[in-house]
Structure 1
Amino acid sequence: MPRREARRALAGAGLAHALHDGYADLIYVLLPLWQAEFGLGYGALAALRGLYSAAMAGLQIAAGRLAERCGGRRVLAAGTALAALGYALAGLSGGLLGLGAALALAGAGSSAQHPLAAAAVARAYGAAARGPLGAYNFAGDLGKAALPALTALLLVRMPWREALWLLALAGLATALAVRALVPAGAGPVAAAEGRAPPAAAPARGRGAAFALLLGIGVLDSSVRAGFLLFLPFLLAAKGAGLPLVGLALTLTFLGGAAGKFACGWLAARLGVLATVLATELGTAAAILAVLALPPAPALAALPLLGALLNGTSSVLYGTVPELAPAGRIERAFALFYTGTIGSSALSPVLYGVIGDLAGPAWGAAAAAGAALLACPLALLLAPRLGAAR
């Protein structure tokens, strides 16, 4: 594909990634407002947040199949518009049931983004897609940092429903940009053209190794989702106002973006096992530090915590092709990604119950404990890693 068209594809995919990841994480800023308006406990708030993630995780494979029939660009643009419509309807909702349905609709629209936008970049750049795919991933982290902060600023000036309408307009504008920028043939791909297959682990025991890898990914995703569920309330208990909560989330997500780059580099030099152990142990220690520290030092610790929270994922994703059962790399990525997003949707409900029973600090401490549980799985996985060890 010509360089100019490839750059357009990357721009469109990056815009989609930024919007959808921002849509997913701005919910955390709204949770305290919904708690006050609807009288919800932490378990109910987690379930409300989980509606979005569950719909997004559960429909990714269906979105890919639909793209094979209708074209990736059309489905990606339509999904972006559907996500925007979901947020517009959330702003129109008059009760908890309507709000939950609207968030589920927004999540369904977002299900198209990851498989189709990443495929568009891979199709556009072929064998040279590794760097552009990194830029695409980074765009998602920028969205996670920008949209929650923007939402917090909007909420200072207007009710949350009106803020969601403005964010919905931004989603519709992004859908039009995706339709204009992403090439018509950008659909799912079996493998990037010209890319050599990754080195694979021995076939014997590969399925068990992949199961261990998936288990680490599920725990790692649950830690991030569980801690972020409680972060606004932990900061509020320390005396932080809404703008400071938005800043805290921004710092956490910016640290997460840096962690994805740094931990991939560290894994190449220190090995997968050492990097996973360092990030998971560091995550647990950083969560406990945020719980214990006064507001200013806790805020200063959040970028490092964000880097540790997100850093493990970049290591795990790079190991999926090596451990794909029977060499089915595409299916392995689908299973891994669905499992980790599903964990983000469901596991916070458990943390929310703990928060209801014992308080948000204990809920966050439980998330730190889950990070520690990933370490034994990493030790079991290490002998099976082969070249990635």
Structure 2
Amino acid sequence: MTTVTELKHSDRKARRTLGVCGGAHMLHDGFTDVIYILLPIWSQALGLSLVQVGILKSIASAALAGFQLPAGFLSEKFNARIVLALGTVLAGIGYVISGFAGGFVGLAIALAIVGMGAAVQHPLSSALVAGAYREGRRRAALGIYNFSGDLGKIVFPTSVAFGVGLVGWQISSIALGVIGVVGGLLIWLALNRVASSDTSGEAKTEVVEDNDNETPVGWGITDPAGFSMLASAGLLDTGTRYAFLSFLPFLLQEKGAAIESVGFALSLVFAGGAAGKFACGMLAERFGIIRTVVFTELMTACGIAALIFLPLLPSLIMLPVIGVVLNGTSSVLYGTVSEFVSENRHARAFGLFYTVLLASGAVAPILFGAIGDAMGLETSFAIIAVLAGCIILICPFLSPRIAEPSRG
């Protein structure tokens, strides 16, 4: 009878942890993707060039990338619950500051703060969920956790777009920041309540994946060549995605879209991305990982190229399809990181991998903003399409190093 009670207690704690971390994921992904809505608004209101817009996005991405590993180290030294809550509050403060910004410098400072605060969420929440489901159903729990982030990508950009139309971008930004501050406090209270219900007193070990006596050396990468090729594919994929999303609102506005329509358009992309995680996962199971990546990148390149020539309405119809394949590579390929890393170094290697990817996302908006200023948005989008297609060139070399799922 005691065993049954303990199992029920553990299951209840796991569900609560998943619920809180899923809410944090929804909030933080909403924070990072609302930037795509605000960039064209800031450009018009403050007279920013495309290069300045790209620099603003890159500042947020660089802060997001640079603080991934420190967030993990801080959680090991202090407490994952505190670091996650403080990061959420910090991101909210960044948006409050952005509401009072009167120019490029003020926005740059605000977005750096948002990026630093938002950096804590992915490494800590995913580790908390994985730790809560040690006994089983971890993959399903992480799938629910990932899907909650997609909900944030849909809800928050759409809400802010309509808010901008009603009360202006300053008040909308401040309101978003207040939601972040309150959300951080609620996350801290909720996770503390979950922890207080556990009699085992695991405070600092909750984000540690393994507790082996042997300490492995370095990053634990067992196949450096395979890991490098995988990181190269991820680098190109992330650069493509960040550049596309950063300047899609500007392309749509050139086609005559209002700001509310831009918010709706981005929601279509994010909704397609959420569906793409499931669809491309099933394609990978049926046809193989590399074949699926080739298909998604070919479709991404063709879809982005088509947007250059299509009028507004057909472009909006195309966006969910582009969203599906735009997320296809990230959902299918990145899950293979563990194949190139020893078991007891997963957390550290994933941190390195995503830092490399986010660094690419920090550079791409500046590069393609400069191209857009010099040669026009259409040229910039054409090069983005070519960049997506370049991932296909890596696939033949990566294929022998990946264990494909068995297909019936």
Same fold (TM over 0.5): yes
Specify which of 283, 299, 307 is matched with residue 266 of structure 1: 283
- Structure 1 runs (4+) deviating above 4 angstroms are none
Which residue of 1 is the match for residue 45 of structure 2?
37
Kindly provide the CA deviation profile for residues 15-36 of structure 1, in whole angstroms up to 9, marking residues without a partner as x. 1111111111111111112112
Deviation for aligned residue 1:124? 1.1
Kindly provide the CA deviation profile for residues 352-380 of structure 1, in whole angstroms up to 9, marking residues without a partner as x. 11111111111111111111111111111
Q: TM-score, normalised by structure 2?
A: 0.89
Which residue of 1 is the match for residue 54 of structure 2?
46
1:164 is the counterpart of 2:194: no
Which residue of 1 is the match for residue 156 of structure 2?
147
Q: Could you tell me which amino acid in structure 1 is paired with residue 159 of structure 2?
A: L
The separation in 2 between residues aligned to 1:312 and 1:386, in whole angstroms, is 16
Q: TM-score, normalised by structure 1?
A: 0.93
The separation in 2 between residues aligned to 1:313 and 1:347, in whole angstroms, is 17
Specify which of 73, 91, 95 is matched with residue 83 of structure 1: 91
The separation in 2 between residues aligned to 1:120 and 1:325, in whole angstroms, is 20
1:230 is the counterpart of 2:247: yes
The separation in 1 between residues aligned to 2:232 and 2:344, in whole angstroms, is 19
Which residue of 1 is the match for residue 111 of structure 2?
103
The separation in 2 between residues aligned to 1:51 and 1:85, in whole angstroms, is 16
Pick closer, same or farther for the CA change 1:226–1:305 going to 2, 3 Å: same
The separation in 2 between residues aligned to 1:154 and 1:254, in whole angstroms, is 20
Which residue of 1 is the match for residue 81 of structure 2?
73
Is contact 1:226-1:363 (8 Å) kept?
A: no
Specify which of 347, 351, 357 is matched with residue 364 of structure 2: 347
1:55 is the counterpart of 2:72: no
Deviation for aligned residue 1:332? 2.1
1:188 is the counterpart of 2:207: yes
Q: Which moved more, 1:305-314 or 1:323-332?
A: 323-332
The separation in 1 between residues aligned to 2:292 and 2:38, in whole angstroms, is 34
- After superposition, residues 220-299 of structure 1 pair within 5 angstroms as 220-299=237-316
Is contact 2:131-2:209 (8 Å) kept?
A: no
Q: Could you tell me which amino acid in structure 1 is paired with residue 207 of structure 2?
A: P
Is contact 2:80-2:124 (8 Å) kept?
A: yes
The separation in 1 between residues aligned to 2:393 and 2:206, in whole angstroms, is 38
Q: Secondary structure at the match of 2:257?
A: coil
The separation in 1 between residues aligned to 2:119 and 2:24, in whole angstroms, is 12
Q: Indicate the percent of aligned positions where both proteins have the same amino acid.
A: 45
Deviation for aligned residue 1:337? 0.9
Q: Could you tell me which amino acid in structure 1 is paired with residue 21 of structure 2?
A: A
Pick closer, same or farther for the CA change 1:4–1:65 going to 2, 3 Å: same
1:363 is the counterpart of 2:372: no
Q: Secondary structure at the match of 1:189?
A: coil
Which residue of 2 is the match for residue 315 of structure 1?
332
Is contact 1:67-1:187 (8 Å) kept?
A: no
Q: Could you tell me which amino acid in structure 1 is paired with residue 82 of structure 2?
A: R
The separation in 1 between residues aligned to 2:119 and 2:230, in whole angstroms, is 23
The separation in 1 between residues aligned to 2:270 and 2:262, in whole angstroms, is 12
Which residue of 2 is the match for residue 383 of structure 1?
400
Structure 2 runs not aligned, ≥5 long: 1-8, 196-202, 213-220
Q: Which moved more, 1:60-69 or 1:183-192?
A: 183-192
Structure 1 runs not aligned, ≥5 long: 194-201
Kindly provide the CA deviation profile for residues 181-211 of structure 1, in whole angstroms up to 9, marking residues without a partner as x. 2344474222599xxxxxxxx95xx210110
The separation in 2 between residues aligned to 1:189 and 1:79, in whole angstroms, is 19
Is contact 1:207-1:324 (8 Å) kept?
A: no
Alignment length, in residue pairs? 379
Deviation for aligned residue 1:325? 6.9
Q: Could you tell me which amino acid in structure 1 is paired with residue 105 of structure 2?
A: L
Is contact 2:237-2:329 (8 Å) kept?
A: yes
Q: Secondary structure at the match of 1:188?
A: coil
Q: Which moved more, 1:234-243 or 1:75-84?
A: 234-243
Is contact 2:76-2:207 (8 Å) kept?
A: yes
Give me the CA root mean square deviation: 1.9
Q: Could you tell me which amino acid in structure 1 is paired with residue 235 of structure 2?
A: V
Which residue of 2 is the match for residue 209 of structure 1?
226
Which residue of 1 is the match for residue 4 of structure 2?
none
